[in-house]
Amino acid sequence: MHVAVVRLELHIPASRSLKEKRAVLRPIVEGLRHRFQISVAEVDYQDKWQRSLIGMAVVSDSYTHAVEVVDKVERWVWSKPEIDVTRFETTWVDGQ
C-alpha cells in the first residue's frame, strides 16, 4: 500500500469574507474529491478570509499510480486562476 499525504496551502486574493472564501473553495474541494477519487478536507485557517490549508490523501496499491495522481492533482490546482498556491507539499507514509 502506498499513501501520499498532500498539504496544499492557498491564498485567495479576491476573498473579502468567509462566505466568499467558501464560494471559491467548495468547487475546488469537491472537484478534487470527485475528479481524482481522493480524500480532501480543509484542515486549517477556517477563520481566515484569504488563507486555507487543504489536506489530501492518495492511497494506491501502486507507487507509480499514486505519483501520477499527485502530479495530476498538482497540475489541476495550479490551473485555477482564482487562487494562489503558496505551498504544495507531499509526504509519503509507509503503509506496510
Stretch 46-64: mean pLDDT: 95
The model carries a pTM of: 0.87
Residue 94: per-residue pLDDT: 76
Residue 55 binned pLDDT confidence (cut-offs 50, 70, 90) = very high
* One-letter identity of residue 35: R
CB atoms within 10 A of CB 13: 10
Residue 96: per-residue pLDDT: 61
What domains can you pick out in the chain, each with its CATH number?
Answer: 2-94 (3.30.70.1120)
Strand order through the sheet with 2-11: 39-44, 51-60, 2-11, 84-94
Residue 95 has pLDDT above 70, yes or no: no
- The rounded mean pLDDT for the chain is 94
Stretch 14-31: mean pLDDT: 94
Burial of 6 (0-12, 13-18, 19+ CB in 10 A): buried
